[in-house]
A and B are shown apart, each in its own frame.
Chain A
């Protein structure tokens, strides 16, 4: 069997099948366990090498599939991406069961993950952009279920993400010309401009991230959390592929200066705006925008191996914190029908675990010590300060903004109300949020546990990671 069939075609087919499964629990379990199995297969069966199973038989997964004359390849270097993609998928799909969102998240979510993996597997970037657009189109029914009207946030999400497609397509074509020979080196400037525009839309950097808080206010928290975790992560990986491939990009100091500037603008503006929000969903949106900025700042470091380790290292704590936050918000939203701060006053007394999940996730994403987000933020801050103290100061200002937003949310949630303490969450919600909070602390205290996943990074980006 070839790897693209196993990790792209199979999940796509299963996602279609899941649309017709009547029982929501079956949808959640089937989707979650499939994603978990695919992540485990990626971890234990690298492509193009025979593996002995229980000393009985050997299994070999070919890395390449040829489609319409083009190659779709999942090489051993892509192992980490596959583990991350389907690991993240399993985490969200199984979590969806506890808030009753499995039918909405799992079938289309599995297809989205498969399409995003396909976008990284096609060997010409030209073909990746339409696949990313298809993933965006599939997310629309998740955001506005049948009978629900699509708000302005959904509309902006659709437009902004779709506009990235033509720019990246044209840039991809021009870049293939540059790759063909130095004769076409004059194409670098227009290609860089088009690529910059495409990625500005795709990654939603400042000021194009306006749709994120709008969407976060309108859409169901769990669905929005899933999309805001998966899409920016893959878009960033897609961008890293470009940087890895083109020497003029990875060897240009100006390029990394621009990336740092854009990243800091996104990070600082999101941190400052987050402080003034009166809606927990919008706050989540700004925290996500800040995370995008943080990854860009990590990319701008002069030591590229450190850059890669930070970018990939940030994925797991971010996924965990956003997952916990979205789950907690879904519980609170089911209780009150809204996530605006005035409506959530004192809710920690009725939903202590959901409130704790929200606050600890926010604090983790703010980089508060002992929580999962701290060790890598600290490393990034240190590396950035060595290169540019001013940039490190701006990073500090952004963290302060996020921290103040977290404390505001905490103050509102625990505001004295005349009601006794009780836990209204159900057992599975309590178990999952409790486990999540524990994991946030464990990864914060023992960050080295994530390291084994990062060992293969230089192999994935062999030129950029040198």
Chain B
């Protein structure tokens, strides 16, 4: 039963991080980020107690809300071909992370394939987002996505409360820094 939830979480992570990569409207970005942290919560719940997993969820949602409240400046629409290009690159990244997830799950042992795949999807699409922009808003989403992936991976390895607290603080710090830089960002994505 838990396995099904894990696979659903992987699907959610894929859709949400893909949506975050392609979304232009800040409202959709906040929605996708919230969904992404729900996926992270479900995946980390396999290894972390509810309270620690919930802390990740809450800090992620708070980060998304913080970026939403900062009201990013209106972003110009990119052409459909730009989105198509991003989509194709994302597909290539997904192919690569699927292959890598097999080795990673073997190596991590107890983590399981869904967690390894979910984590690598987030890391891969987060890095892709970071590689395609210098806009503070995009960078913040990219860093949050990448960190969420590593956090998911980390949950299988370490269950220290202090690490969870520090990672949550870093998530909120990233969102705060992003919100600060967004206030004076140029209007181009």
Contact = CB atoms under 8 A, between A and B. Distances in A.
Contact of A140 (B142, B147, B160, B177): B177
A127 B162 contact: yes
Given A127-B162, A134-B170, A149-B186, A155 B157 contact: no
Residue among A70, A137, A146, A190 with max Cβ neighbours from chain B (10 Å): A137
Residue among B143, B146, B166 with max Cβ neighbours from chain A (10 Å): B166
Interface string B143-154: 100110010011
Interface stretch (A17-25, A158-166, A361-369, A405-413): A158-166
Contacts of A396: none
A129 B123 CA distance: 18
Interface string B172-186: 011011001101111
Nearest to B107: A190
Contacts of A141: 177, 180
Interface string B47-61: 000000000000000
A132 to B, nearest CB: 10
Interface in A192-247: none
Nearest to A162: B143
A68 B136 contact: no
A458 interface: no
B139 interface: yes
Contacts of B135: 155
Given A70-B162, A127-B163, A159 B130 contact: yes
A137 B174 contact: yes
A144 B130 CA distance: 19
A126 interface: yes
B139 A126 contact: no
A173 interface: yes
B165 interface: yes
Nearest to A176: B158
Contacts of A70: 162
Interface string A289-329: 00000000000000000000000000000000000000000
A156 B177 CA distance: 14
Size category, B interface: 35 or more
Interface string A122-160: 000011001101100100110010111110101110110
B14 to A, nearest CB: 20
Size category, A interface: 20 to 34
A166 B184 contact: no
A159 B143 contact: yes
Interface string A167-183: 00110010000000000
Contact of B173 (A126, A137, A146, A155): A137
A140 B143 CA distance: 15
Contacts of A163: 130, 146
A320 to B, nearest CB: 31
Interface of B: 107, 123, 130, 134-136, 139, 142-143, 146-147, 150, 153-154, 157-158, 160-163, 165-167, 169-170, 173-174, 176-177, 180-181, 183-186
27 contacts: A68-B165, A130-B170, A134-B170, A137-B170, A137-B174, A137-B177, A140-B180, A141-B177, A144-B181, A147-B183, A149-B185, A150-B185, A158-B143, A159-B130, A159-B139, A159-B142, A159-B143, A162-B143, A163-B130, A165-B147, A165-B150, A166-B123, A166-B150, A170-B153, A170-B154, A170-B157, A173-B154
Interface of A: 67-70, 126-127, 130-131, 133-134, 137, 140-141, 144, 146-150, 152, 154-156, 158-159, 162-163, 165-166, 169-170, 173, 190
